[in-house]
Amino acid sequence: MIQKLLLLIGVICLGLYGFFTVQARIEQSELEDELYLPRPSYTSATIAKHHLQEGDLFGRLEVPRLNMSVMVMEGIAAKTLRLGAGHIPHTPMAFAGHRDSFFRALKDIHVDDTIRLTTPDGVNEYHVVSTKVVPPTDISVLEEKTDEKLVLVTCYPFYFIGPAPKRFIVEAVKN
């Protein structure tokens, strides 16, 4: 009896993982298509005017050396971060993502790597100037008020099971 129960739990867990993975890939594909549709500007300079809502397309983040590409939506709600990366509200260029999915590649990022941000307004490139590990209460990196600096935030350590005790921060400046 216990074997059948454990097998059922395993099948359910695998099914949920499969469902969430497929859902995220479909959302990423739809957002990719949406990025190139004609629309009003949505970059940080105009974000206040457009009042993006949770889940709205913000753009695409790429780290070419790491072969990382992820669509970015406005907000950091659980569903948003399950489907892609999220633009942290009330910041010009700060983005969050899960360490066990879209931001996993950041474990291998180096100073001077290029980060490309594509929005409906165009493409901007940044180069990494630092990485650091901070406690989750340290939000000083989110205080930047211009779009000259880009910040990526994910949980740390990368292979920790359960809620991670720290945050991994990548700071980059506009080329």
For 6-65, the pLDDT digits (tens) are: 888 888 888 888 888 878 788 887 888 788 776 655 555 454 445 789 999 999 999 999
E strand or H helix at 155: strand 149-156
pLDDT per residue as tens digits for the range 101-122: 999 999 999 999 999 999 888 8
CATH superfamily of 2-174: Sortase (2.40.260.10)
pTM of the model: 0.82
Q: What is the mean pLDDT of residues 64-85?
A: 95
Determine the pLDDT at residue 48.
47
| Residue that has been written with the tokens 């004609």 in this structure | 38
Determine the pLDDT at residue 79.
94
Q: Domain spans of the chain?
A: 2-174
One-letter amino acid of 163: P
Determine the pLDDT at residue 23.
81
Give every CB contact of residue 115 below 8 A, 6+ residues apart in sequence: 61, 62, 63, 125, 126, 127, 128, 150, 152, 170, 172
Q: Is the pLDDT of residue 97 over 60?
A: yes
Determine the pLDDT at residue 145.
83
Determine the pLDDT at residue 38.
66
Sorting pLDDT into bands at 50, 70 and 90, what band is 76? Answer: very high
